[in-house]
Structure 1
Amino acid sequence: MFERNIYDHYQLYCEERFMLGDLEGFEANREYYVFVPIEFTAGQSIQDMIVMTEHLKTTGERGVADIIRTVHNQAVALVDGVDGFLFKLPKSEAEWRAEAEESTGRSLAFFHYKGSNIQAAAQSTANYYGQWKFIWEKRLTQLEQWYQTMLQRLPQTEVDDAFLMSFPYYMGLTENAIQFVADSDIDEPYRGNEQPVICHNCFTDRSWLTSPNTAQSLIKLPSHFIIDHPSRDVAEWIRHEFHGEEFSETNLLKFIYDYESVKPLTSYSWRLIYARLLFPLKYFETLENYYGTQLKEERLYYGEKFFHLLDREQRNQTFLSDFHQLMANSEMITRVPRVDWLQQI
């Protein structure tokens, strides 16, 4: 069905299929393609993806995939029962070799330089710059409504019980994160000099892909792109690294050192990084997924993830409490206020 749908929509024969992580890819006419379901995208419009892609190519980014329209000039196609976008992967070039040898930190900093000064940022629906406070407030309000409803109807599962017990603490973390962003916008005199860049909805080591013609992780999918402050990418890489099974302070410090060797982090950037780390994103995502599904298997999966998250929260508290000391080699971290109550737990 996949091959038939691809031919019907794009007139491409799937000569060979492969997987890029969780994504379906195929070869056709000596070119490589990948199909990205809408649920795996950052929710931006095709016009936003095109604008960000063209901007990056203009500034010298070679690794961006091109979005392919259907034979009827549609952006979205139904393939194997799933709506999504088709991207053509860039061909490997000799000039990529130097780029491939760069560390993740340096590569991300160069990517942010290439993604800066994007003129369409203000009108873009993918622009999240300056919106964190409002987005977090909205998510907190929704979770607080669930909490109040649960109190009235009484818990029915172990997850319900754990949610009721844990929510006041995580609400405190969220309120601190929101206040951090609000205070940073007021306290930082040079905040207005920092402009939005093209970055990622959630940047990790897996955000950039390899393909049959590219051994290194250099391929960037526009479906991952948004416009925001570059600290978002830095913070989300740290979060993903910390929550991984093989977290290493050495790797974290190297990532920051490499990033700052290209693009030094300002005190405002460090404030936003710390604010994002304070915001308990995993807690929100896990509960939203748990209460948002009616499938028993998915509820079991997210329930287990939720308890695992709670079991590791003491570790997260320690990390947030020691973060300033850990990042002491970065000069501007000294201007980031501490959250006193975390030191006392």
Structure 2
Amino acid sequence: MIQEELMKHFGLSGQVRPVKGGAWIHTGDQSFYLLPVGALYHEDVRELSQLTDALAEWMPEVARVRLTLTGEPTAEIHGHDSVLLAYPNKANFRTDSLTTGGRLGRLHQLSRQYSFNKNNRTSYLQWSDLWTDRIEQLEMNVQSVEETRRADRRGFEQHLIDVFPYIQGLADNAIQYAFDTQTDQFIKVPPAITHYRFYEGLWEDDEATVLSPTHWLVDHPARDVAEWIRAHAWEYGDTEDIKQFIYDYQKEMPIDETFHEMVFARLLFPLPMIEIAESFFEQDYRDPDDHRIIQQWRRNKDRCRQYEAYLKWYAELYLNGRVPHWLQKVED
């Protein structure tokens, strides 16, 4: 069935290997990845197609959107509006010595030259508003638990209520910091292709080392730098690695203090703990005794003090110590 539709829409035949969320198609020495349009973060597939074509001219490791035989960026495959990504053949491009930081900087530097559709800049310079909406919604959910389950709340519900003032305080600091930076400073860096959540290893998979657009969205490039630092500090805690990452990045993409302020604002926002709480309230059946979510919560909570020390370290190194007053008292 899928083979027939691939031939009809793309003139493509090959071995199909279904995987969770999509399917791999192998034909000769070429690999393709088929996925539903709804799985993409960048919803304008036409623009995404133009972006991958333009970037692949300079970065051949970019996976490109394969157009249909009629020139459309999507096709109905197996009942779903789908997009087909053509993965580069590793034998056809030279492996360079760029590190993760350097490659990310090059992607940002090249993509920020593109004139994005303004309707697709959903996150660019909107962090403070988006974060305000998230923390307010979480506050409403916490208040609901406090009011309706006063006598029998347990497990994760109690953990969240105990720590929520801390989360809310961090979020408020981050929102104010991002707002002040965007208001007081002229943001010189235009939007670029970024990732929903960037981390070491995102570009690695079973097929090839490629820059896949599946996680792409349009935002300020500080987003990716901050999320890589957050994930690395959380997992490894090596400040020398972080300094090297930033050094490699800025060799390809020049940055200034305002850029670092945007990075710091994002690092200050307690995203991991907020996402755990959000995932709990999004469940149809919420089990406050779910050991998996409680363990995630405890693991994140236990690292908070260490993470605060990293925030202070970053601010002292790149921002001349301009941090919220309470963070200045954190011990290194």
Normalising by structure 2, we get a TM-score of: 0.84
2:35 counterpart letter in structure 1: V
Partner of 2:180: 183
Partner of 2:43: 44
**Partners of 1:95 and 1:11 in 2: CA distance:** 25
Query: How far does the alpha carbon of each residue in 1:175-232 deviate from its partner, in whole angstroms, 9 at most, with x for none?
Result: 11100001112333xx2422212222211123224564x4xx2x12222221211111
Alignment of 1:89-128 (within 5 A): 89-93=87-91, 95-98=93-96, 101-121=97-117, 123-128=118-123
Normalising by structure 1, we get a TM-score of: 0.81
Query: Are positions 1:321 and 2:321 aligned together?
Result: no
Indicate conservation of the 8 Å contact 1:16/1:28, yes or no. Answer: no
1:89 counterpart letter in structure 2: Y
Worse overlay, 308-317 or 143-152:
308-317
Indicate conservation of the 8 Å contact 1:109/1:259, yes or no. Answer: yes
**Partners of 1:184 and 1:282 in 2: CA distance:** 23
Indicate conservation of the 8 Å contact 1:267/1:333, yes or no. Answer: yes
Query: How far does the alpha carbon of each residue in 1:136-188 deviate from its partner, in whole angstroms, 9 at most, with x for none?
Result: 11111211111121122115441111122221210111111100001112333
1:147 counterpart letter in structure 2: V
| Aligned counterpart in structure 2 of residue 235 of structure 1, from 218, 221, 226 | 226
Shift of 1:94: 5.4
Partner of 1:35: 34
Partner of 2:319: 333
Partner of 1:291: 281
* Two-structure CA RMSD over aligned residues (Å): 3.2
Partner of 1:199: 194
Shift of 1:13: 3.5
Indicate conservation of the 8 Å contact 1:290/1:303, yes or no. Answer: no
Shift of 1:45: 2.1
Query: Are positions 1:131 and 2:126 aligned together?
Result: yes
Query: How far does the alpha carbon of each residue in 1:308-343 deviate from its partner, in whole angstroms, 9 at most, with x for none?
Result: 333433433332334343575x5x421x52122235
- SS of residue paired to 1:97: coil
Query: How far does the alpha carbon of each residue in 1:218-250 deviate from its partner, in whole angstroms, 9 at most, with x for none?
Result: x12222221211111100111122233x44333
2:167 counterpart letter in structure 1: Y
Alignment of 1:222-261 (within 5 A): 222-244=213-235, 246-261=236-251
**Partners of 1:9 and 1:295 in 2: CA distance:** 41
**Partners of 2:259 and 2:271 in 1: CA distance:** 19
**Partners of 1:273 and 1:85 in 2: CA distance:** 32
**Partners of 1:157 and 1:126 in 2: CA distance:** 41
Indicate conservation of the 8 Å contact 1:48/1:125, yes or no. Answer: no
2:142 counterpart letter in structure 1: Y
Once the two structures are aligned, what percentage of the paired residues are identical? 23
Shift of 1:135: 0.9
- SS of residue paired to 1:260: helix
**Partners of 1:303 and 1:37 in 2: CA distance:** 32
Indicate conservation of the 8 Å contact 2:155/2:288, yes or no. Answer: no
1:199 counterpart letter in structure 2: T
Instruction: Give the 3 Å change call, closer, same or farther, for CA 43–156 of structure 1 in structure 2.
Output: farther
Unaligned runs of 5+ in 2: none
Paired residues in the alignment total 327
Instruction: Give the 3 Å change call, closer, same or farther, for CA 343–208 of structure 1 in structure 2.
Output: same
Unaligned runs of 5+ in 1: none
- SS of residue paired to 2:25: strand
Instruction: Give the 3 Å change call, closer, same or farther, for CA 86–102 of structure 1 in structure 2.
Output: same
| Aligned counterpart in structure 1 of residue 84 of structure 2, from 70, 81, 86 | 86
Partner of 2:300: 312
**Partners of 1:322 and 1:145 in 2: CA distance:** 30
2:214 counterpart letter in structure 1: S
**Partners of 1:67 and 1:301 in 2: CA distance:** 44
1:158 counterpart letter in structure 2: G
Instruction: Give the 3 Å change call, closer, same or farther, for CA 37–251 of structure 1 in structure 2.
Output: farther
2:48 counterpart letter in structure 1: M
**Partners of 2:188 and 2:285 in 1: CA distance:** 48
**Partners of 2:158 and 2:73 in 1: CA distance:** 47
1:103 counterpart letter in structure 2: T
Instruction: Give the 3 Å change call, closer, same or farther, for CA 74–174 of structure 1 in structure 2.
Output: same
Shift of 1:115: 1.0
- SS of residue paired to 2:98: coil
**Partners of 1:270 and 1:302 in 2: CA distance:** 38
